[in-house]
Homo-oligomer: A and B are copies of this chain.
């Protein structure tokens, strides 16, 4: 074991948490997604998705844009520049962790 930090120490709890990692992974591929789409891809309840989006929004990693389309409310969710950076950092830390695993 070297003196370098263990790779798990480079993981950010805000991004690493399972549901939030899923949300950011989806948003990393799509420019924006609407709430219903995220809920269905990640098979989450409204409440659960909402709660994790709030955490990500408070960290500045996503934005939520509530609009009306054809008179129906819709929430567009998009990843921010700093969200993309945080996600990239998480991916690098995960790759380092996985690279250290034998077998």
Contacts and interface: CB of A to CB of B under 8 A. Distances in A.
Interface residues of A, number: 30
B1 A41 contact: yes
A25 interface: yes
B102 A98 contact: no
B43 A21 contact: no
Nearest to A30: B1
A6 B18 contact: no
B18 A16 contact: yes
A101 B91 contact: yes
Interface of A: 1, 5-9, 11, 13, 16-19, 21-22, 25-26, 28-29, 41-43, 91, 94-95, 97-98, 100-103
